[in-house]
Structure 1
Amino acid sequence: MYEPPLHRNENLPELHALIRERVFGLLISNGAEGLVANSVPFVLDSAASRLGALKVHVARANSQWRDLEASPDVLVVFQGRDHYITPSWYETKRETGKVVPTWNYTMVQAKGRAKIMDDAWLARQIEELTQALEQRREKPWAVGDAPADFIAMQRRAIVGIEIEIVDIRGKWKTSQNRNVADRAGVISGLDALGDEESRAMAEIVRQTSRD
C-alpha cells in the first residue's frame, strides 16, 4: 500500500478498532489459478499474537481455502470510512483557486499466514462472530436459538481459517495536507451533509488535524 508518512497510522489499537468496526474484509490470496479475492466477515483476536489474529470461515465449496493449504500467505483489506472531498469546501479555493477534488478514507491492510482449523475451533468462531454482530441488538440472536442438528449441518458446509497477522498497515488520508482553514472547511462541509458517513468522516478529520 502506498503510504506517505503524513497518512501513515501506526497506532495498533486504532488499527484493531477499525477492524472491529468494519468486520467485512477482503481476503486476498494467490492460488493455482492466480489471485483470488473474497469478501467475508472476520473476528479479530488481538491477544493471539503480537499483532493479533484474524478468524474467518468460508463456504466449503469456495476453492480459496484449498489454495491456502498450498500457499498460505494472504492479504486482508479492511475499508474504513471514506468520503469524496470537493474543493469548494477549501478556503484556498476562494484565495487562489489552486485546488482539486480528492477522496478521504481510512484503511487497514493485514498480511498473514492462513491455517485451516478443526471443527471445534470453527464452532467457537461462529459463536464469537455471531456475538460480535448481534450484541448491539435489543434482542440478540444466538447460535443456540437454532436446532443443534441444523447448526451441525450448516457447519459441515463451511471451513474455518485462522490468520496470524505478521504485518499490519493503516492509512488515514483525512485532509492532513491541508491548512487549518481548509480543514475547517472540510469539517463544516461534511457536517452540513448530515448523513452518518459524512459526520463520521468529519470527526476523523477533527481527530487527525495536526496544527
Structure 2
Amino acid sequence: MKTIVKTEHVSKTFLLGKTQVQALTDISIKAFEGEFLAIAGPSGSGKTTLLNLIGCIDKPTKGIIKIDDEIVTGFSSNKLADIRLAKLAFIFQTFNLIPVLSACENVEYPLLKTVKNKTERFDRVFYALQSVGLEKFVKHRPDELSGGQRQRVAIARALVTEPRIILADEPTANLDQKTGEDVLNIMKSINKDSNTLFIFSTHDPKVMQMASRIIRITDGRVVEPTHPGRLKNEFSHKH
C-alpha cells in the first residue's frame, strides 16, 4: 500500500498568555491510500490538533509532515493553501456551509478557482450531490435542510474536488444515532469506490467500529503504537 500521509516526531506547543501548552508530543504515524482511519481520543487529547497539522491548517512546532512523499513542513502559507486545494478536503461537525447559498452553490464553491468550465462544474456538482442522495435538493439552502442533509452537502463539497485525502473532524457529533450511521455509510461507500483516504478525529464508537484502523491519542501522545507491518496486514485483511 502507498503511504499518503506520514508524520515524523511531530510536536505542537501553543502559547496561552504566558503559559506553554503541549498539545502533541512526538507523534509518528502513517496513513495509507484507501484507509478509513480514526484518530480517537477524549476531548482535549490532541486529535483535532493533529488533524489540523495533517490538513496544512497549522504547522508543527517540531517534526516533519509528508503528504505524497513531499515534506510540507516549512512551506509558506500560500504553498500550504495550494496543497489544501489540490489534495485535501475537510468535513466539520458544524457543517460550515454558507447560509445564503443553495446546496448546489455550496458544493460548487471550492471549484470556482480551479474549474473554469461551467458545464464541467455542473456535472461534478450534480454527481457529488447524487452520490450522497441529495440530487432532489440542489436548490435548497442550509436552513431548509435537516442536520443530516447539511452534513451530506458538506460531504459532497469535500468529494467534488476529487481529493487524495478527506479529513473529518467529529463529523457525527451533531447528528442523532440513525442519521450519524447513514452519514458514515455514505462516507464508507465513497471511501471504497474512490480509494480516497479518510482520516477522522473522533470519540464516537460508531466511527471507530467502522474504521479500518484506529490510532488512539491521550494527552497528546499515541498510546497504542503498533508496527507498520502489522498495520498493513490488518488493513489488508479488513479489505
- How does the TM-score come out when normalised to structure 1? 0.25
More strand by share: 1
Whose relative contact order is higher, 1 or 2, with alpha carbons under 8 Å and at least 6 apart? 2
Structure 1 or 2, whichever has the larger Rg, is 1
- How does the TM-score come out when normalised to structure 2? 0.23
